[in-house]
Structures are given as structure tokens and as C-alpha cells.
Amino acid sequence: MEKQIVLMTSDEVARTLDRLAFQVIEKQGKAKNLALVGIQRRGVDLAKRLAAVLEKKLGVTVPCGALDITLYRDDWTRMGGKPAVGPTTIPFDINGKNLVLVDDVLFTTRTVRAALEALLDFGRPKQVELLTLIDRGHHELPIHADYVGRSVNTSCNERVDVLVRERDGLDEVRLTTGADA
């Protein structure tokens, strides 16, 4: 039997993004060379929100882009049917930038590996850091997040879903357990 547990409410998601923005400011300073790149889909929404918080706090524009990693995945040929490729929009030069790659859930780390490979097709950033709302463990590669909203211990047969108002009509993080997770 499937069971859902709310891990983060809308208010908790908002507070967490605020805290993450302060952590980025603490490490990046005035953010003059900073840019954000969100991984499609919900990472893009989170990156846009984070950019807005940073801009409000720093009074500077923080460039923000969107990256689709579908064709960079090491398992895309095993996906059933035709893979759904989303848009990649990076409207700034990434060469020499301090990039913060934004994703909703860090799990096996294979998505991040694919994102790093995809970014290199756009240039050579000075630095790439990773920010994730949820780190659920079970990493298969030696990749870690520099900024973590919340770490959640999960089993491999559980699922963590990040819902965002832009796509889902509400902000919430859910843990699904049970046979259908």
C-alpha cells in the first residue's frame, strides 16, 4: 500500500530557498561573476526563484539558465519510446563564470554527471557548484552538493517528489513509500 508523507510544506520550501540564497551569498560574496543554471524541469523553477531572492538581497542581476540533460544521460537509449527533450536556454556566456547548478532532488548523481557534461558543450566555467533542495542519498558517483536544502534518509524503493507552484500548483516535498513508489 502506497503512503505519502509531506517532508516540506510551502512555507518550509520558501524558508529553505532563502537560507540557501544566504549560503550562496556567504560563499560567492557580491555575486559579480555568479550565474545559475537549473536542470530541467523543476530545477529550472527553483533556480529562477533563487535568482530572484539573490537579486533582491544583493541588488544585482543574477543570470539564470535552463539545461536539459536528456540526451546526455547514460541510460537514455534504454528509456521506453522517444525521450522527451526539454529546452536548454543559457542566455549568457558561461566561460569564466562561477556557476551554481540547481536541481530539485539529488539521488544517484547520474543526472548531475550528465549536466556537467552538457555544460561543457557551452564553454568552460571557472567553477561549478551544486545546489539541491533535497539530498536523499544513494549516490553512485563521487558527486556531492555544495548547498543542500534538506538531507533525507530514504530507501531505494521510496520516491521523493518536489512539487512547485509553477508546474504543480503548489510547493511541497513528498516522500512516497510502498509497493508503487
Q: What is the CATH number of the domain that holds 54?
A: 3.40.50.2020
* pLDDT exceeds 90 at position 61: yes
CA distance 162 to 155: 17
Is position 103 within any domain?
yes
Which segment of 62-76, 85-99, 116-130, 157-171 scores lowest on mean pLDDT? 62-76
Q: Which of these, 84, 10, 91, lies nearest to 51 by C-alpha position?
A: 91
What CA–CA distances, in Å, run from 6 to 36, 66, 112, 173, 175? 28, 27, 25, 6, 6
Please give the residue range of the domain that contains residue 78.
17-25+32-158
Is position 2 within any domain?
no
When pLDDT is cut at 50, 70 and 90, the band that residue 81 belongs to is low
Neighbours of 79 (CB within 10 A): 11
Peptide bond into 41 cis (omega under 30): yes
pTM for the model: 0.93
